[in-house]
Amino acid sequence: MIAELGVFFLILTLIVSSLGFIGPILKFNENSEVTQIKVSKLAFFCTISSFIILTYCFIISDFSLTIIEKNSNSQLPIIYKITGVWGNHEGSILLWLLVMTFFGFLFSCQRKIDAKFKEKTLNIQNTLIFLISLFILLTSNPFDRNFPPAIDGADLNPLLQDPGLIIHPPFLYLGYVGSSIVFSISIAILILNNNTKEYFEILKPWIFLSWTFLSCGIGLGSWWAYYELGWGGFWFWDPVENASLLPWLTSSALLHTIIISTKKNSLQNWTLFLSIITFLLSLLGTFLVRSGVLVSVHAFANDPKRGVFILLLLLAISAISFVLFLKRSKTFSNKIQINLVSREGAISLNNIFMFTLTFTILLGTVYPLFSNVIFNNKISVGAPFFNSILSPLMIPITLGMMFGPFLRWEKDDMNNLLSRIKILLIILFLVSLTVWYLNYKGPVLSIIFFAFSAWIITSSLFELSNFLSFKPRIILRKIPLRTFSQVSAHIGIALVILGATGTSILRIEQIQFQEINEVITAKNFKVKFLGIKMVEKENYKSQMGIFEIYKNNKYVKTLTPEKRMYNANKQVTTEAAIHSTVFGDLYIAIGDGNTLSKNSWTTRIWFNSFTIWIWIGVLFLVLGGMLSIFRFIKANK
């Protein structure tokens, strides 16, 4: 009965949100802004009620619901019963809708926005909510019943029985779907056809908000894959990963152009274009993930009917927004010439490279599909392609991050710039020498990328040092929050480059049969295998390998990688064990026993250099975003 209430709330969301576009046509209310605000709040209330009901059904293990029967089990720990809500297609689309209504709700609460603009934005947002709830009700209703009800469920996919599932999807969706409000605002600006700075100021914090969530979501996903799932790496260029990277790249570009749009009144059309593209890429990502048109490690169950629906949605939204953009973009183009040697110039140039990167990754991601359809030829585009396009494009992007912040707005002069940063150039030279000296035996590419990372960090710190004044005593002048957030984000990127380079280029890998008491050396660690222990837990049995780790002949700790066999569906998973240090991670996974000798097991031992810095980098990125958001909140008070 309670499940029917969930469906009822979903239908209510659909009906209420339909006022998003019917309202303005019927004009049944003089004060249509108020109507839209009410609609947004009501839609959020209905969706969250429906979501809570679904969560409740999961908690009480109502196996008469198909998705619970397929994705839960009575033995499942309570926390995974809850996270199981979004560990499947139907539930996760409901989470999509929830996040979308949440952003609509937040926007409807924002003050100091002129009524017409607010009404138009919420119009669009509510229309999107209507379309997504229609999608849920027609193709992915989470409250579908099965008959006769099952006695027990099939269990949640063991890979998803992990703390990572608690936070990764919600954050990713906050970022992904957060771009919907950015889209709605941009379309509202286009509809009103009014190129006023005020509207772009309103747009700005939402871009930072969704970007911050998206960075966080992607970072968490990568962390999860590496530490918890034992995939042995942090990024695989899998279509689903790319699908989340694409909107991240365009919204990173957007972060920079919006600054020009609000500060210098130019590039507004480009800002609007990027806002639209970012949301469309999120939708495209959803299409690619949910329709199963590409092969992915994120093997989600798929259904062509859903694919067709999302495709139609994607095409319709793209068509309408592009036509609108083409019609109105003239209003938003200022004929101000941008100097190449200026802050705007550097940002624009960097934007071009970011966009090139986005487009190339998109092409690489969907090309296997196109090749299959057009040439009937199966190909796969993998890491080598993506790495080879990323590497050269990193050069201009790095240079932009290093020198961009030192350029003046509007017009600067090359000589002038050089004299301002001559000390920095000397320091950079010394830093390069140090990097080379520390790693001259390593592969050339690793030296180059380590240098990039060190350069960005150096120039970012140099930027901060400009706020030091040395006379008469060392005093730190007040650093603007804006500078702090920019420096933090740039250092974040530098640290991600450091970690990614160490992990991918300098990795040491050893696979072998390891006898009991045998010692394997990896970098400066010695790994001694002590044997296998059988462990039994609530919902799985496990073979646990016991390894003692020594560094310089001193005992450090014991690592226990596992091979788990889940009771409910007999699925086997590998749990890697990791010893993390700032210089790198020792990563151990166990395989099968040797069929010939009882005392030896397949073991894989890696040493990944600097991996932890990837996530420290992500923290810096997120910190940068949060500082900006904090600044907007303070300014708005």
Partner 1 sequence: MKYFFLLIIMSSFGFMFYKGLKIDPSIVPSNLIDEETPNFQLKKVENYPLFDSKDLLKKEIKIVNFFATWCGPCKIEHPQLMELSSSFRIYGIAKKDNPQNITKWLKSYGNPFDKIGLDNDGISSIEWGVYGLPETFLINKDNKILYKHIGPIMKNDLEKINAFLK
Among 4, 152, 515, 592, which residue interacts with partner 1 (rule: CB under 8 A)? 592
Long-range contacts of 419-424 (CB under 8 A, 24+ apart): 421/462, 423/462, 424/458, 424/459, 424/462
Residue 469's CB is within 10 A of a number of other CB atoms, namely 11
Query: Tokens for 479?
Result: 């650093």
Residue 66 and residue 145 in contact, taking contact as beta carbons nearer than 8 Å: yes
Residue 354 and residue 252 in contact, taking contact as beta carbons nearer than 8 Å: yes
Q: Which residues of 332-354 are buried (b: 16+ CB within 10 A; e: fewer)?
A: beeeeebbeebbbbbbbbbbebb
Strands 468-469 vs 475-476: parallel, antiparallel or unpaired: antiparallel
Residue 625 interacts with partner 1 (CB under 8 A)?
A: no
Residue 517 amino acid letter: N
Residue 374 interacts with partner 1 (CB under 8 A)?
A: yes
Residue 294 interacts with partner 1 (CB under 8 A)?
A: yes
Query: Tokens for 94?
Result: 């409901």
Residue 311 interacts with partner 1 (CB under 8 A)?
A: yes
Among 235, 287, 450, 547, which residue interacts with partner 1 (rule: CB under 8 A)? 287
Residue 326, CA distances (Å) to 193, 199, 267, 388, 538 in order: 12, 19, 15, 34, 59
Runs of H (alpha helix) within 292-382: 304-328, 343-375
Task: Please identify, using beta-carbon distances, which residue of 410 and 509 lies nearer to partner 1.
Answer: 509
Q: Least Å distance between CB 167 and partner 1? A: 30
Among 293, 578, 590, 614, which residue interacts with partner 1 (rule: CB under 8 A)? 293
Q: Least Å distance between CB 274 and partner 1? A: 17
Q: Least Å distance between CB 510 and partner 1? A: 10
Place of tokens 């679904």: 54
Residue 519, CA distances (Å) to 526, 597, 602, 605 in order: 6, 17, 13, 11
Task: Please identify, using beta-carbon distances, which residue of 246 and 294 lies nearer to partner 1.
Answer: 294
Query: Tokens for 153?
Result: 């469920």
Residue 361 interacts with partner 1 (CB under 8 A)?
A: no
Site string for partner 1, 314-333 (x = CB under 8 A): -x--xx--xx--x-------
Site for partner 1 in 32-51 (CB under 8 A): none
Residue 56's CB is within 10 A of a number of other CB atoms, namely 16
Residue 292 interacts with partner 1 (CB under 8 A)?
A: yes
Task: Please identify, using beta-carbon distances, which residue of 78 and 374 lies nearer to partner 1.
Answer: 374
Q: Write the CB contacts of 360 (distance below 8 Å, at least 6 apart in sequence).
A: 389, 393
Among 384, 471, 595, 637, which residue interacts with partner 1 (rule: CB under 8 A)? 595
Could you give the CA distance from residue 356 to residue 365 in angstroms, rounded to a whole number? 14
Give residue 389's Cα distance to chain centre: 20
Residue 513 interacts with partner 1 (CB under 8 A)?
A: yes
Task: Please identify, using beta-carbon distances, which residue of 2 and 373 lies nearer to partner 1.
Answer: 373
Left (φ > 0), alpha (ψ -120 to 50) or beta: where does 265 sit?
Answer: left
Place of tokens 């809570």: 52
Site string for partner 1, 387-426 (x = CB under 8 A): ----------------------------------------
Residue 334 interacts with partner 1 (CB under 8 A)?
A: no
Q: Least Å distance between CB 529 and partner 1? A: 15
Q: Least Å distance between CB 559 and partner 1? A: 20
Task: Please identify, using beta-carbon distances, which residue of 163 and 382 lies nearer to partner 1.
Answer: 382
Q: Write the CB contacts of 31 (distance below 8 Å, at least 6 apart in sequence).
A: none
Place of tokens 């990039």: 452
Among 149, 163, 304, 480, which residue interacts with partner 1 (rule: CB under 8 A)? 304
Among 372, 439, 466, 580, which residue interacts with partner 1 (rule: CB under 8 A)? 372
Q: Which residues of 118-145 are buried (b: 16+ CB within 10 A; e: fewer)?
A: bbbbbbbbbbbbbbbbbbbeebbbbbee
Task: Please identify, using beta-carbon distances, which residue of 320 and 461 lies nearer to partner 1.
Answer: 320
Task: Please identify, using beta-carbon distances, which residue of 61 and 602 lies nearer to partner 1.
Answer: 602
Q: Least Å distance between CB 349 and partner 1? A: 25
Instruction: Select from 139-147, 171-179, 303-311, 404-412 the region that touches partner 1 (CB under 8 A).
Output: 303-311
Q: Least Å distance between CB 378 and partner 1? A: 5
Among 23, 169, 368, 492, which residue interacts with partner 1 (rule: CB under 8 A)? 368
- Relative orientation angle of helices 422-439 and 444-465, to the nearest 10 degrees: 150
Task: Please identify, using beta-carbon distances, which residue of 24 and 307 lies nearer to partner 1.
Answer: 307
Burial tier of 54 (Cβ tally within 10 Å: 0-12, 13-18, 19+): buried
Among 79, 115, 297, 373, which residue interacts with partner 1 (rule: CB under 8 A)? 373
Residue 433 interacts with partner 1 (CB under 8 A)?
A: no
Contacts with partner 1: how many residues (CB under 8 A)? 33
Q: Least Å distance between CB 374 and partner 1? A: 7
Q: What are phi and psi of 333, to 5 degrees?
A: -105, 120
Residue 571 interacts with partner 1 (CB under 8 A)?
A: no
Residue 308 interacts with partner 1 (CB under 8 A)?
A: yes
Among 291, 342, 458, 628, which residue interacts with partner 1 (rule: CB under 8 A)? 291
Residue 78 interacts with partner 1 (CB under 8 A)?
A: no
Which residues form the interface with partner 1 (CB under 8 A)?
Answer: 287, 291-295, 304, 307-308, 311, 315, 318-319, 322-323, 326, 368-370, 372-374, 378, 380, 511-513, 591-592, 594-596, 602
